[in-house]
A and B are shown apart, each in its own frame.
Chain A
């Protein structure tokens, strides 16, 4: 009897092992990490679920507001648990240089290979676009609203309280445009000139904001009359009825990108997913769910995005042409990193 039971147990466990084996080979999976909130929900509907279905894989999701420290510790520990990360493009480049991010083989990623070269790097592919724009209160400026960074710096013609992001990225670009540099002639940034111009506006800056939510609240509550903010944050506040608006003129076009952690546990599946995630149709679905532009410009040729919707998006070609395209390559260069460090002492003086 006892022996009988033993065989039964052995049989059952063998069966279980067999099942586990087939399950693992049938269902490939990856762990995908993004920034959470409404944004991650929107991409789940537009991109992640359709990609998982089409590829027959399981996409496990995780979210973190700032992935960089986690990327560093995970890869540093030698056993990363994430595969693909959606993070500001600069981190992908910096991570690539520090050996934390896999180099991409674009022959395996045809959808990305069809994108403009300025939208990808050896380590990353643009995934979605947002813009740092000049936003203002329509109550304070019912007509003759500020329309450029020159206007933002002009405290006589446009009196009012101002806010900027407590971060040099996009802020230095705005300062240079305020000083007359053309949007397509910004890089390499003249850092001295930018900081000098910032000193000029510094006394008029009421708040140096640190989070997107904070920037939205400042504008919504009338705490400031104009500020640099991300387009999606401003349009969200406007949708809720606040009298606020923004202009894409001289906006700074920024992107988050997809990149793959060095030594990712499911590398092959991750590459397959990366190709699928920038498929023009999936990409075109994203702006139907949230106010961000597709990372793949071919999405505008799929007829999924209606022309009036396209006109609202930061990466729509006509809007993009009014803006400066951020050079993440410059920001992750030694000069860029030095400018970031200089910011801390600029803030405290």
Chain B
């Protein structure tokens, strides 16, 4: 058994364990052992602000993605096969476009002379262009778009496994469609909700390109702190410490979620 998996283990060791270990080592070692980098992460307010902002944005993105994604997954599940394939294709298609391209596309849509502002002005709904981008709003809109498939697909997978008989049984007992939905379908789809929310939230925590391009410079998420510490301030140790804290946060979330549902489910394996 060990002989069979050892090549895979070696790959994991070389590509994941060693680099992450080196990263962690860098955060505590600079001309001797030091906790200075962690002291700064936990006491300097620019770090706190970034972690708080990242948390807020991730939460907002997760909630919006859930509100948008649930009906889509529901429709894809309920409609005949041809339609559901079309819906899923529309969800997955943008997935194959680079994140960078999609961020620029949102810029073209949302900026002052962008499609949406031009249209609103043409319809005379507004006289001055709205500030839709270069702020937190633009960041959230684009991030939701990019992460939506990670919400829809686990939801759809869970809904697929809910037996249709149960709904019929509910109806035969006299429950209205909305009552069967609330009492039968919704509770059974909750594992998918948890899985989708975890995926979206965790991925959003590490977002970099979208806030960089659409945040107008003020939306400083944690990953941007990492890159600025390296590029601007040449502080590899500080960057490593931020990265380690973020990584531990993500692992903690996965651990907490795994107490409720199996991790394979979150990662879409089952």
Contacts and interface: CB of A to CB of B under 8 A. Distances in A.
A203 to B, nearest CB: 11
A318 to B, nearest CB: 34
Interface stretch (B69-77, B147-155, B216-224): B216-224
Contacts of A340: 232-233
Interface stretch (A38-46, A65-73, A285-293): A65-73
B220 A206 contact: no
Contacts of B114: 221
Given A69-B234, A345-B46, A348-B46, A223 B217 contact: no
Interface in A211-239: 214, 217, 221-223
Interface string A155-176: 0000001000011000000000
A347 B113 CA distance: 26
A12 B14 CA distance: 40
B128 to A, nearest CB: 11
Interface string B112-133: 1110000000000000000100
B234 A223 contact: no
Contacts of A210: 212, 217
Nearest to B225: A344
Interface in A293-349: 340-341, 344-345, 347-348
Interface in A15-60: none
Given A66-B231, A344-B228, A206 B216 contact: yes
A345 B47 CA distance: 9
Contact of B217 (A69, A72, A207, A222): A207
Nearest to B112: A223
Contacts of A347: 217-218, 220
A68 B220 CA distance: 22
B111 A69 contact: no
Given A223-B112, A223-B113, A166 B217 contact: yes
Nearest to A164: B217
Given A207-B134, A344-B46, A69 B216 contact: no
Question: Chain B interface secondary structure, helix, strand, loop or mixed?
Answer: loop
Interface in B92-112: 107, 111-112
Interface string B210-247: 00110011101000000010111110100000000000
A227 to B, nearest CB: 12
Contact of A69 (B50, B112, B218, B230): B230
Nearest to A337: B233
Contacts of B230: 69
Given A69-B231, A210-B212, A210-B217, A345 B113 contact: no
A340 B233 CA distance: 8
A78 to B, nearest CB: 17
Contacts of B217: 166, 207-210, 347
Contacts, number: 54
B268 to A, nearest CB: 34
B234 A68 contact: yes
A120 B220 CA distance: 36
B165 interface: no
A68 B227 CA distance: 13
Contacts of A209: 217
Contacts of B107: 217
A208 B113 contact: no
A68 B231 contact: yes
Contacts of B234: 68-69, 72, 94
B116 to A, nearest CB: 14
B113 A206 contact: no
A221 B216 contact: no
A223 B130 CA distance: 11
B209 to A, nearest CB: 11
B49 interface: yes
Nearest to B45: A345
Contacts of B232: 167, 340, 344
B233 A341 contact: yes
Interface in A144-200: 161, 166-167
A121 B117 CA distance: 50
A208 B231 contact: no
B231 to A, nearest CB: 6
Contacts of B216: 206-208
Contacts of B113: 221-223
Most buried by B among A68, A69, A344: A344
Given A68-B234, A341-B233, A345-B45, A208 B212 contact: no
Contacts of B213: 214
A179 B45 CA distance: 29
17 contacts: A68-B234, A69-B230, A72-B236, A94-B234, A166-B217, A206-B131, A206-B134, A206-B216, A207-B217, A223-B112, A223-B134, A344-B233, A345-B45, A345-B46, A347-B218, A348-B49, A348-B50
Given A69-B234, A344-B228, A348-B46, 4 more contacts: A72-B236, A217-B107, A348-B49, A348-B220
